[in-house]
Structure 1
Amino acid sequence: MDSKETNAKIVKMNLGASIRLNKFGIALIGGMIFFIVLLYRNSGTPPRSDFDGRAATVSLKRLLSAAIDAAERGGKIVYDVRVKATLNEQSKGKTKEGANDPVTDGDLKSHLAMFYALTKAFPGVEVISEEHDKSNVDASTVSPAATFNVEVESTIVDDDSIPAEDIRVWIDPLDATQEYTENLKQYVTTMVCVAVKGYPTLGVIHKPFENLTAWGWAGKGVSPKLHVTKDQGGPKDDIAHIIVSRSHSGDVKDVALKAFGENTVVIPAGGAGYKTLAVIQGEADAYVHVTLIKKWDLCAGNAILNALGGKMTTLKGTSVDYGNREEYKNQGGVLATLYQHDYYLPKLQVLQKS
């Protein structure tokens, strides 16, 4: 065999070895990629749209789970501050009615936990809070809100993906602060609401001193733990039971008596969240408010009522829009009912015109 034939055979042998090696390498790399993908899919890591501010859409089911987690985190802080009696109460000034408008460490620390838990979990979503950060706030200790909740998964069958730009999240880190300072703990709540194009869609009201979390998703369902009264078909025993604010009442008591009769039972209570739940649970027929109120006080209860087929409107009967952070004041009063909204509303409207 001459040198040319020998070299040709060597080249052929090397070429064959090279081809076999490349096939093995490709198979190995392919197996590694498959294994990595399998691990990622089984890790429970939420879709990128939940965590990436550049994403176009947001899962409402995951956002509801995060809202529940945020409200309960805030509630734990509110509870601990009250139990330790470290309120450090200050005043934000006077309300329009001349009542004190306090703020405490419970409000501010709850805000820190709730606001940053939500913004870290959903950086592309606008979150609007009643409170604001103090200078030099360290948010590094706040972890993103959990985007999985067993109760939500077992109750809600499907999901909606919504453009992030259509979503506004309203949070009230401590509703009923005045009552909180007076140790009237039954009225205190923490609340989160998700409005889609201004419509209150997801609502969470957490009672930290009763360890109760009520939530609702308009068109989808409500928390199975939420007690909902049966259809009352109008006022109990033909006597309207109206729940009103105890600390910002204005002339609402007189309005209720004039609108629904002198036998009307007027129930003073603290916190818009508490009062809305009282209507849902049958402790009152309607919640009436006649003076200015902030939208973070209303949004969560409004969403839960929407999920139950109830209504919350202004005293003129118009819906409250939650689509603009700059328009955070509701000037038109409030009527909230689970049933028979059309029974109560005309009576209030007639009184306004007189």
Structure 2
Amino acid sequence: MRRGQNSIGVSLQANPEIDFTNPDALIAALLPAVRDAGRVEMAHFQKGVAIEQKADRSPVTVADREAEAVLLTALSRIAPGVQLVAEEDIAAGATHGYARRFFLIDALDGTRLFIRGKPEFSINVAYVEDGRAAFGLIFLPPSERLFVTRSDGSAYEARLSLAGDEAFSALNWKKLETRAPDRNALVAFNSRSTGGASAHLLAELNVHEARPLGSAMKFCLIAAGEGDLYARFGETCEWDTAAGQAILEAAGGSVTTLDGKPLTYGHFARGFRNPHFVAWGRQPLWRSGDEASPNARGA
């Protein structure tokens, strides 16, 4: 197979078509592109980037666009004909209709923190089928932590070195399992932009410790048993959450709307925006309508 380069100088391997519905095969095919996207992001992170503003006033950088281009090129080869829904592509005006199956891509989740020099950003890739996040991959370039769902239905973590070129089979995989919540010592991860409503919920649950943290890494740390919940009552989009939900559910957790129903995907008509949700280490400890509802407290 010949090896080429894309327009930004990142090497790309032409992949034969694979069974992308097989998580292990998909991970193996994606790893070179995920590693290359991580290298792109870290190169810009270390030297700084110019900031632009999208139509919704959120920031975007060349790192977002270059990393997304790497992933889209790889996915178009791995799963030709399958719809690809990517954050920056949508922001640039791409439109999509209903699809039973598609990929969700957030090549640089946590752009604001990336700009501020905080190492709290991630690469998110999810495969959605019939409204459910069926596969998730999240890579944290600053720490080289890789989280995935594998073919046995479980979630795993491995170290993916940006300096190396280890293949899927050479990685040292650790199976993930969420922890049983201790109602007297709950630990929550908060978005750094969390609002008052989620703060009220944490108070109602008597959360022992709330740690501000950026990007989809919150889902990963709950999946790894390092926390118990993440409540988000602010605006998010499906590419922010799908990969994390797949990983967390495979580790024993759940992600639900405020009425306790699973968060679902493919809501094209509302621009891929999510409702408010809570990610739980196990099953929900609260839902709207409970006596301790934060809405009853004026949140």
Task: Indicate the TM-score class for this superposition, using the shorter chain for normalisation.
Answer: 0.7 to 0.9
AA aligned to 1:72 is R
Q: Distance in 1 between matches of 2:198 and 2:284?
A: 20
1:270 deviation in Å? 1.1
5 Å matches for 1:90-169?
Answer: 90-92=52-54, 101-132=58-89, 166-169=100-103
Q: Which residue of 2 aligns with 1:181?
A: 115
Q: Which residue of 2 aligns with 1:66?
A: 29
1:212 to 145, 149, 157: 145
| SS of residue matched to 2:88 | coil
Contact 2:59 2:111 in 1 (8 A): yes
Work out whether 1:190 is the aligned partner of 2:123: yes
Aligned CA-pair RMSD = 2.9
AA aligned to 1:267 is R
Contact 1:202 1:218 in 2 (8 A): no
Whose Rg is larger? Answer: 1
Contact 2:52 2:60 in 1 (8 A): yes
Deviations 1:9-31 (A, max 9, x none): xxxxxxxxxxxxxxxxxxxxxxx
Judging changes above 3 Å, is the alpha-carbon distance between structure 1 residues 118 and 252 closer, same or farther for their aligned structure 2 residues?
Answer: same
Q: How many pairs align?
A: 261
AA aligned to 1:129 is A
1:352 deviation in Å? 4.8
Q: Which residue of 1 aligns with 2:179?
A: 231
Contact 2:181 2:281 in 1 (8 A): no
Work out whether 1:318 is the aligned partner of 2:280: no
Contact 2:106 2:124 in 1 (8 A): yes
Q: Distance in 2 between matches of 1:326 and 1:106?
A: 29
Q: Distance in 1 between matches of 2:194 and 2:20?
A: 39
AA aligned to 1:270 is G
Contact 2:131 2:264 in 1 (8 A): yes
Structure 2, unaligned runs of 5 or more? 1-13, 93-98, 159-173
5 Å matches for 1:276-291?
Answer: 276-291=219-234
5 Å matches for 1:247-266?
Answer: 248-261=193-206, 264-266=208-210
AA aligned to 2:79 is F
| SS of residue matched to 1:117 | helix
Q: Distance in 2 between matches of 1:277 and 1:253?
A: 20
| SS of residue matched to 1:329 | coil
Judging changes above 3 Å, is the alpha-carbon distance between structure 1 residues 170 and 291 closer, same or farther for their aligned structure 2 residues?
Answer: same
Q: Distance in 2 between matches of 1:181 and 1:64?
A: 28
Q: Which residue of 1 aligns with 2:167?
A: none
Contact 1:78 1:110 in 2 (8 A): yes
Q: Distance in 1 between matches of 2:291 and 2:248?
A: 21
Contact 1:218 1:306 in 2 (8 A): no
1:72 deviation in Å? 2.7
Q: Distance in 2 between matches of 1:134 and 1:274?
A: 23
| SS of residue matched to 1:342 | coil
Q: Distance in 1 between matches of 2:261 and 2:111?
A: 28
Work out whether 1:268 is the aligned partner of 2:196: no
1:239 deviation in Å? 2.9
Judging changes above 3 Å, is the alpha-carbon distance between structure 1 residues 348 and 81 closer, same or farther for their aligned structure 2 residues?
Answer: farther
Contact 1:305 1:338 in 2 (8 A): yes
Structure 1, unaligned runs of 5 or more? 1-44, 51-56, 95-99, 136-164
AA aligned to 1:112 is A
Judging changes above 3 Å, is the alpha-carbon distance between structure 1 residues 352 and 129 closer, same or farther for their aligned structure 2 residues?
Answer: same
Q: Distance in 2 between matches of 1:243 and 1:348?
A: 22
Identical columns (%): 21
Q: TM-score, normalised by structure 2?
A: 0.76
Work out whether 1:351 is the aligned partner of 2:293: yes
Deviations 1:296-350 (A, max 9, x none): 00000111122222101112212222234444434421211222x2324468784
Q: Which residue of 2 aligns with 1:308?
A: 251
Q: Per residue, is there more helix in 1 or in 2?
A: 1
